Structure 1
């Protein structure tokens, strides 16, 4: 697992120890970033259920100005911090050990808005639909932004959740990516 492009291109990323975290493969990550934009001119990213932080780190390397990483597992938080330092991106990343729903409530109170939101919870958890609803209701995705929900092929997410509209569905074996934008 590595950073594919940008200022930290080629940096190898540490995986979270154990079998609880399933990192997004480099092939899926490369395809995703070709679709959502190979490079960014600023903007903030939210990597919810961060795991190793691979998606948020890729966004930072490609030009996102800041990324917030949230995960409830100590091992994941420690791994993200290590990967940020290794990539030289630690000044632009903030890492929080929190439950996803609590983190979203805090971000909404702070009136945070994101250009990119990555959601990659464990496939066995049935949390994506309520998280999508919370993000839409709390207006966390800015106009022109993209939210990426990664899940197993056995799940179907709605085409629209309040102001969020799915505009793309990508299948990579057992991995599915649903891409949402705001319906302005």
Structure 2
């Protein structure tokens, strides 16, 4: 849900040490890489350029090449790049990334802020909230900022990680409490929910 990368770039401009952009659309991933490089946040200029050039060539290649050995090699190279750089972009289904970050080269890394602005009509907020509650990518006392449409109503005040095998496994209010709501902001037809993971009060909440 990174889109153009504006939220991540704003965080970087305010002093964030690292950032990973995640979006399912290839065009959005390319845009995030380009904007991060133009903003001076990519560690290696040539690595950023090379990633963009490879993606462009892949898009222009014959259909027979898409998904072939070259595409798989490029994905492995990109995983390695993301794993060692503080700023990177990943093309992935966000829920799959939250549940299995190691598939995308993100291992032993946690973050203190996750910002998500999903396309309202293309996502199940029930599944998404459950994935956010279960992911180990957000560290304790970390914040989740989740955008959602006003017509959805107010999101639950607490998001829970489901028990191992409950009958109501899809109920975001059943299970182990993980994300505790701090605020709900309204901007016209857009709502913004802010959660904290297992808050200790160390950050004043």
Q: TM-score, normalised by structure 2?
A: 0.62
Give the 3-state SS of the residue equivalent to 2:151 in structure 1: coil
Structure 2 equivalent of residue 137 of structure 1:
134
**How far apart are residue 55 of structure 1 and its match?**
0.5
| Closer, same or farther: CA 96–120 of 1 in aligned 2, 3 Å | same
Asked whether the equivalents of residues 71 and 97 of structure 1 are also in contact (C-alpha less than 8 Å), the reply is yes
CA distance in 2, matches of 1:68, 1:55: 11
Residue deviations 1:67-125 (CA, integer Å, cap 9, x gap): 01010111101111110011001124110111112211232672432100011110212
Structure 1 equivalent of residue 113 of structure 2:
116
Structure 1 or 2, whichever has the larger Rg, is 2
Structure 1 equivalent of residue 151 of structure 2:
154
Of 170, 175, 178 in structure 1, the residue corresponding to residue 190 of structure 2 is 175
Asked whether the equivalents of residues 141 and 198 of structure 2 are also in contact (C-alpha less than 8 Å), the reply is no
Q: Provide structure 2 residue ranges, at least 5 long, that are not aligned to the other structure.
A: 44-85, 161-177, 200-205
Residue deviations 1:8-65 (CA, integer Å, cap 9, x gap): xxxxxxxxxxxxxxxxxxxxxxxxxxxxxxxxxxxxxxxxx10001101111111111
Give the 3-state SS of the residue equivalent to 2:115 in structure 1: strand
Of 14, 18, 26 in structure 2, the residue corresponding to residue 74 of structure 1 is 26
Aligned residues: 136
Structure 2 equivalent of residue 90 of structure 1:
42
Of 63, 80, 83 in structure 1, the residue corresponding to residue 15 of structure 2 is 63
Structure 2 equivalent of residue 127 of structure 1:
124
Give the 3-state SS of the residue equivalent to 1:90 in structure 2: coil
Q: Given the alignment of the two structures, is residue 165 of structure 1 paired with residue 180 of structure 2, yes or no?
A: yes
Q: TM-score, normalised by structure 1?
A: 0.68
Structure 1 equivalent of residue 165 of structure 2:
none
Give the 3-state SS of the residue equivalent to 2:120 in structure 1: coil
By percentage of residues, which structure has more helix?
A: 2
| Closer, same or farther: CA 147–59 of 1 in aligned 2, 3 Å | same
